[in-house]
Chain A
Amino acid sequence: MARGMVRETAVTPSREYERQLVGRAQADDRLASRELVELHKDRLFSFIWRMVRNHHDAEEICQEAFLKAFASLGTFSSEYRFSTWLFTIGYRVCLNHLRRKRALTGELDFTALPHDGDSALPGSVESEEAGRLKELVWSAVDRLSAPQRATLVLFYRHELSCHEMAQVLELPVATVKSHLHRARNRLRELLESVTEHELQEFRNRAGAAG
């Protein structure tokens, strides 16, 4: 799929305005801090939730990421976007959380976790096939490694370029491209193994209904 389709619709402030906000927040301006939180919280939470798949954990990680960001706001370099810097912190906290969780529970299997809600739009009309396809895709995404999952979500959902992803994930651009390539192929393999069976079921049901 070519990039540029439906994306997160959060308003992105201009760099100059963002720089001013950060400057004011550094000077303990509470309103500026609040505006920074309001501007970035939903996107950060969306990314983190896709990484950990648990509402409570995602909210805690999100909070920790903001607190760490505010605590070290003095070290922020305006060379980067605030959102990129914040996502970097959020991703690090995520990885620490996943490591701790893996240490406690062994290998992580996100597909075994209860989902926090139904991913279908409330009140929207969605065919059974489309709904099932979404389930299969997210279930396959959950089976990927953390960096692979992160690259897919950042690339498709948050519209980050490979260069921006490299900053967030603190990896070389070539490594990021490699993660993205492997993630797509792994996703295809996982989906191929299940969709044939699923499609056959749909065909049989459609035939029986017809």
Chain B
Amino acid sequence: MRCEQARQLFDAYLDGELSGALATELGAHRVKCPDCRRALALMEVSGHVIASDREPVALHGDFADRLLACTDSKSLRSRDRLRRGLYIAGLLAAAAVVALAFLGAFDRPAKFAGEKVETARPLAVPSPQEQSPEAGNRGASANEDLLEEWFKETQDNWAAKRQSGESLQRQFELTISQMLDILRQAKDTSPGADHFPGADGEVPASPPEPAPTDDEDVEDL
């Protein structure tokens, strides 16, 4: 056997997959060839070191505790995120309904144009301090009432402003700003608002944000 042939058998030999006859051939070559003997010895000894050398470091004893605490806080955070997402989605839906209603109002000028309104009344949007405790406790239904009342008053106001010749853009800006005020109040009185993560000063022991895991092929590093 030549060195070239012998070296092709090294992997199979090291994997323990060499058949008896070939293993004997390789052994015979190994005895008489110092280069192959040395090469194989280096591969064998490095494999042995990798397999048997003890790790110089170990995980901290409380690793499992810390890890499970992280999983708890993560699931808690995901529940909070879901609740907050649903709440915001509700607010956005309400805003969308109001906005659509106004767009509808644009399309029906005749209805309002015909109405006789003396003066433009200020919007009666109560501040959080002025709000009655009952309204705050009723939560979503109270907010709906507020929006409905505001919507009615705004319709009247719009008609009045159209009569007085105020610009359409200005009217729209005012309306949007009032609508946002109402939504802000609704958020302040929401029972879930106090339970957002960090709202009560609690800082959960959380793991670092996981890096995005690519599904790329392995590349040489």
Contact = CB atoms under 8 A, between A and B. Distances in A.
A156 B50 CA distance: 6
B218 A64 contact: no
Interface in A163-192: 169-171, 177, 180-181, 184, 187-188, 191-192
A1 B16 CA distance: 8
A72 to B, nearest CB: 10
A4 B16 contact: yes
A187 B43 contact: yes
Interface in B47-61: 47-60
Interface stretch (A12-20, A77-85, A112-120, A201-209): A112-120
Interface string B26-70: 000000000000110011111111111111111110011011101
Nearest to A68: B210
Given A45-B58, A63-B207, A71 B11 contact: no
A192 B51 contact: no
B165 interface: no
Contacts of B219: 95, 147
A146 B71 CA distance: 29
A59 B66 CA distance: 11
B59 A42 contact: yes
B65 to A, nearest CB: 9
A162 B51 CA distance: 16
Contacts of A71: 74
Given A68-B210, A70-B71, A116 B47 contact: no
Contacts, number: 155
Contacts of B48: 1, 5
Interface string A85-98: 00001001101111
Given A45-B58, A60-B208, A117-B57, A188 B67 contact: no
Main secondary structure of the interface of A (DSSP, over half): helix
A63 B213 CA distance: 14
A47 to B, nearest CB: 10
Given A5-B52, A41-B59, A147-B220, 9 more contacts: A38-B64, A42-B59, A49-B57, A92-B214, A102-B221, A152-B47, A188-B42, A188-B46, A191-B46
13 contacts: A7-B51, A37-B68, A45-B58, A59-B63, A115-B56, A119-B53, A133-B45, A146-B220, A147-B218, A147-B221, A152-B50, A184-B46, A188-B39
The 8 closest A-B pairs by CB, nearest first: A117-B56, A2-B16, A146-B221, A145-B220, A1-B47, A156-B51, A156-B50, A6-B52
Interface of A: 1-7, 30, 33-34, 37-38, 41-42, 45-46, 49, 55, 58-60, 62-64, 66-68, 70-71, 89, 92-93, 95-100, 102, 108, 115-119, 121, 133-134, 137-138, 140-141, 145-148, 152-153, 156-157, 169-171, 177, 180-181, 184, 187-188, 191-192, 195
